[in-house]
Amino acid sequence: MTTPVVKGAAYVLVHTPDMVMHYGTTCSSEHEANPNSEFLKKVPSHLRTFEEAVKYAPNQAYIGNILPDELNNIPRPWYKNLMEDAKADGKMGEMLSQDELYIVMKLCDAFDLVMLEKSFSDAAKEKISKKPYFTEAEIAKIKDGFDISEIESKLAEGAEPLHYNGKVVGCVKAAHATDKSLTAHIMAENIATKATAVIATKNLLYKNNISPDSIEYVIECSEEACGDMNQRGGGNFAKAIAEVAGLVSATGSDTRGFCAAPTHALINAAAMVKSGLYKSVAVVAGGATAKLGMNGRDHVNKDVPILEDCLGAFAILVTEDDGVNPVLRTDIVGRHTVGTGSSPQAVMESIITKPLDKNGLKITDIDKYSVEMQNPEITEPAGAGDVPLANYKMIAALGAKRGDIDKANMPTFIKEHGMPGFAPTQGHIPSGVPFVGAARSMILDGKINRAMIVGKGSLFLGRMTNLFDGVSIVMEKNPGKAEEMGAVSKEEIKGMVAETMKEFAAFLLNRK
């Protein structure tokens, strides 16, 4: 039986300021309820440029150009202390602009629902063709743009507009005349999710030199639902993404669980590889347009830029053991069960300490905990506090209650075993998985040995249960056992052959 390893991870951010205004639920609800509100008037002046978003240190941490810990060296507010030499291209991914997203949405548009104005489409096509991961054949598949009058007439019929720099440059049409699960708005949301996941998958392949046909299965774990009125969440984003990303040998399926879904998916992928079912499984998710500018009202009130201006996406590849990359310990998995109870203490024990206890590990044996990694600069103005810090305090308090650490050492533990939050508040995106790539490089560089990836989800938001959910898995330095064991078994085989030859020789001699 093989050991699953994290072969690579990619992280993508797409700066979408116009979508904040038209697709984020905070602004779009206000448009409907109070179109002339002071808040809506102030939104444009609080939106950032693409360059400002690129230079924003938490975004640089997300795409892998700095380690999350390096944020401790940059004074806050980070939006005022920009990284002047920052680049949109990241070690583990990249940042893209809205025009690039729209053209990839067109590339992902299997049913001719996305219409882009001709000159905009041509310019964006030219821009995206420079991406090293798109082939000429893929770019050639992007159909021609439309005259603006055709787009305007579709908008009059109820299509959702696509804006760029405040101007309409396209639209997304409804996929059915009456089906409420295929409205223009839902199609725009779903195609944006698909497109951002495709970009993350392409980055995963390109930046890690992975052959597209080597991937056998895709698990998609966003928070959107695609389907029609007879099967509203029928799926399958995974296969749709795999198709556009060129994963010709893959099939896949969607895993849901609110913010906990990516860690569930990572555990599922590890289990699939561990069992020998598949050799190579990709875990992918695209961004959520609804969450753009979610805390925008508080940001505007407190004169902070609207920091929720990017769609987030990621892709992680789990493969069989290569003797190098960090292993996913399927024997150190935490889960919040139905019977666990909902007190924060019970939740943290079930996710953090129970799996450690089972394996004779202490809280201090995990070098880094990746929890809900929301950027505190987004959540603090909204009164939600510093979410990762609150999680680290809980882990430290649990450690102190158990006697793993001294109560006086809690602040040191938090600094050493935690890290500042750096991920956009895109629901599933900040939950545990943003650190998988950084953990991989820190483990490969010998900076840490072990990290715990924790995913938590607010299931009650779906109104099906009042329960909360959470799972965790440990990532660990690869002991290189595969090679060692291979070498040993070769030696053993040689020994066995020699022994048999000797016995055979003795048999022949005796027979004589």
- Which residues of this protein are in contact with another protein, per CB under 8 A? 343-346, 348, 383-385, 390, 393-394, 396-398, 400-401, 407
- Closer Cβ to another protein, 231 or 337, answer by number: 337
- Closer Cβ to another protein, 281 or 405, answer by number: 405
3-state secondary structure of 368: strand
- Closer Cβ to another protein, 247 or 373, answer by number: 373
Shortest distance in whole angstroms from residue 441 CB to another protein: 30
Dihedrals φ, ψ of 425, to 5°?
-80, 65
- Closer Cβ to another protein, 168 or 346, answer by number: 346
Tell me if 59 sits within 8 A of 373, measured CB to CB: no
Shortest distance in whole angstroms from residue 383 CB to another protein: 4
- Closer Cβ to another protein, 104 or 405, answer by number: 405
Tell me if 245 sits within 8 A of 308, measured CB to CB: no
Shortest distance in whole angstroms from residue 17 CB to another protein: 25
- Structure token digits, residue 366: 């995990």
Shortest distance in whole angstroms from residue 339 CB to another protein: 15
Shortest distance in whole angstroms from residue 344 CB to another protein: 5
Q: Is residue 208 packed enough to be buried (19+ CB in 10 Å), middle (13-18) or exposed (0-12)?
A: middle
Shortest distance in whole angstroms from residue 361 CB to another protein: 19
Tell me if 116 sits within 8 A of 122, measured CB to CB: no
- Structure token digits, residue 217: 């299965």
Strand 310-320 with 114-116, pairing: unpaired
Shortest distance in whole angstroms from residue 394 CB to another protein: 5
Shortest distance in whole angstroms from residue 409 CB to another protein: 13
Shortest distance in whole angstroms from residue 405 CB to another protein: 12
- Structure token digits, residue 511: 């027979």
- Closer Cβ to another protein, 154 or 297, answer by number: 297
Shortest distance in whole angstroms from residue 398 CB to another protein: 6
* Residue 118, amino acid: K
Task: Please tell me the chain's helix, strand, coil percentages from 3-state DSSP, rounded to the nearest 5.
Answer: 45, 20, 35
Shortest distance in whole angstroms from residue 68 CB to another protein: 21
Q: How far apart are CA 132 and CA 203, in angstroms?
A: 9
- Closer Cβ to another protein, 134 or 392, answer by number: 392
Shortest distance in whole angstroms from residue 297 CB to another protein: 9
- Closer Cβ to another protein, 267 or 348, answer by number: 348
Strand partners, 13: 95, 312
- Closer Cβ to another protein, 151 or 398, answer by number: 398
Shortest distance in whole angstroms from residue 146 CB to another protein: 39
C-alpha separations of 109 from 15, 125, 467, 476, 480 in Å: 20, 14, 36, 39, 44
What are the helix (H) ranges across 113-147? Answer: 118-128, 136-140
**405: number of Cβ within 10 Å:** 21
- Closer Cβ to another protein, 123 or 384, answer by number: 384
3-state secondary structure of 147: coil
Dihedrals φ, ψ of 292, to 5°?
-65, 130
- Closer Cβ to another protein, 122 or 416, answer by number: 416
Q: How far apart are CA 92 and CA 451, in angstroms?
A: 18
Q: How far apart are CA 182 and CA 161, in angstroms?
A: 16
Q: How far apart are CA 339 and CA 173, in angstroms?
A: 45
Q: How far apart are CA 355 and CA 86, in angstroms?
A: 39
Q: How far apart are CA 398 and CA 51, in angstroms?
A: 42
> Which residue carries 């690869």 as its tokens?
478
Number of residues in the chain: 512
- Closer Cβ to another protein, 463 or 511, answer by number: 463
Strand partners, 114: 172
* Residue 310, amino acid: C
- Closer Cβ to another protein, 271 or 390, answer by number: 390
As a three-state string, the secondary structure of 36-73 is CCHHHHHCHHHCCCHHHHHHCHHHHHHCCCCCHHHHHH
